[in-house]
């Protein structure tokens, strides 16, 4: 399987195996590599997701890659939006290639049929107060073999194949994600970008359990993603809150607004 060496202004390095594509791009930022480097690996030995969790990359069954971004001065104020940028690009690419209608699960996942098929991890590289670069790490489950059989999975996972009966070509999918990311990026600092996020926001208007800012599970009605990337929700008392960091679970486990819950996600 041959990956392209370039797409638009992206330069692509394909590895059979690596510890972590995010770590590879991290080193490239430290070495002052120009923006646009993309590292894609058939297998990651130490792939990771949010909050230090592991991300399993099964050879030939999934697509794992990381992108080196050097945000412009105008984009530095919109760093919280880069995860959504990756999510929108993945969503658009899968929709185009499969006919599915993926949605964005706040804050950093892509769903098909309410099941997670993609996770995104963004990491910023700072030197003091100077932002040297940003990494967008993306992992996409393509075939059923890509989904790990782990009891510790926080949210139900699936694959493009399982949800659409289509097996997408990995190089083609990578090309389309990068093409859509480049096309969407000029919208990043605008209200139109947030509108696009909310257009495809999973569970909008529904009640779902969210691990709130205090670490407790509580049911909220999802209103929208706000301009700063926060999730705007409504609690049991009808009061609106803004959640900046949390875990969103499926509405299937919460049919009505309730108070705090000890149920796990």
Domains and CATH numbers, the chain: 6-199 (3.30.930.10), 207-261 (2.30.30.100)
Cis peptide leading into residue 107 (ω within 30°) = yes
Q: What is the DSSP string of 186-253?
A: GGTTSHHHHHHHHHTBTTTTSEEEEE-TTS-EEEEEEEEE-TTSPEEEE-TTS-EEEESS-EE--GGG
- Say what the pLDDT of residue 265 is: 30
- Asked which of 50-59, 133-142, 202-211 is least confident by mean pLDDT, the reply is 50-59
Inter-CA distances, 155 with 72, 175, 252, Å: 34, 28, 12
Show Cβ contacts of residue 75 under 8 Å, excluding neighbours closer than 6 positions.
188, 189
Lowest-pLDDT range, 86-100, 162-176, 202-216, 224-238? 202-216
| pLDDT at position 166 | 95
Distance from the Cα of residue 17 to its chain's centroid: 22
| Closest listed residue to residue 146, CA positions, set 119, 122, 123 | 119
Tell me how crowded residue 205 is: count the other CB atoms within 10 A of its CB.
11
Using the predicted structure, report yes or no on whether residue 259 has a pLDDT greater than 50: no
Residue 234, beta-bridge partner list = 221, 240
Q: d(Cα 175, Cα 177) in Å, to the nearest integer?
A: 6
What number is the average pLDDT over the span 105-111?
Answer: 94
Q: Which of 152-156, 202-206, 220-224, 233-237 has the lowest mean pLDDT?
A: 152-156
Residues ≥6 apart with Cβ < 8 Å to 157: 115, 116, 117, 141, 147, 148
Confidence of residue 168 (pLDDT cuts 50, 70, 90): very high
Q: Is the pLDDT of residue 236 over 60?
A: yes
Residue 147: both structure tokens together:
């989904």
Q: Does residue 153 carry a pLDDT above 60?
A: no
Cβ atoms of 99 and 168 closer than 8 Å: no
In DSSP notation, 75-94 reads TGGGGGGHHHHHHHHHHHHH
Q: Which two tokens stand for residue 172?
A: 């083609």
pLDDT given at position 186: 97
User: Model confidence over 57-74: pLDDT tens digits?
Assistant: 678 899 999 999 999 999
Question: With 60 as the cut, is the pLDDT of residue 262 above it?
Answer: no
């Amino acid at each position: 399987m041959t990956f392209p060496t370039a797409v638009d202004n992206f330069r692509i390095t394909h590895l059979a195996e690596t510890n972590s594509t995010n770590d590879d791009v991290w080193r490239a930022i430290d070495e002052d590599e120009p923006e646009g480097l993309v590292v894609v690996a058939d297998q990651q030995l130490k792939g990771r997701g949010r909050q230090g969790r592991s991300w399993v990359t099964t050879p030939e069954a999934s697509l794992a890659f990381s992108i080196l971004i050097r945000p412009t001065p105008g984009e530095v104020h919109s760093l919280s939006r880069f995860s959504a940028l990756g999510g929108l690009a993945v969503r658009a690419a899968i929709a185009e290639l499969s006919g599915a209608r993926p949605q964005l699960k706040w804050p950093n996942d892509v769903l098909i049929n309410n099941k997670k098929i993609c996770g995104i991890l963004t990491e910023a590289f700072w030197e003091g107060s100077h932002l040297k670069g940003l990494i967008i790490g993306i992992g996409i489950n393509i075939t059923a073999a890509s989904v790990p059989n782990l009891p510790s999975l926080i949210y139900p996972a699936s694959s493009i194949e399982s949800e659409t009966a289509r097996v997408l070509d990995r190089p083609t999918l990578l090309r389309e994600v990068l093409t859509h990311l480049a096309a969407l990026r000029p919208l990043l600092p605008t209200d139109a970008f947030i509108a696009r996020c909310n257009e495809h926001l999973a569970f909008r208007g529904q009640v779902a359990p969210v691990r709130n800012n205090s670490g407790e599970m509580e049911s909220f009605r999802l209103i929208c993603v706000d301009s700063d990337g926060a999730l705007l929700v409504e609690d049991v008392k009808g009061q609106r809150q803004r959640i900046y960091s949390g875990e969103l679970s499926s509405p299937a486990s919460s049919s009505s607004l309730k108070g705090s819950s000890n149920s796990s996600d």
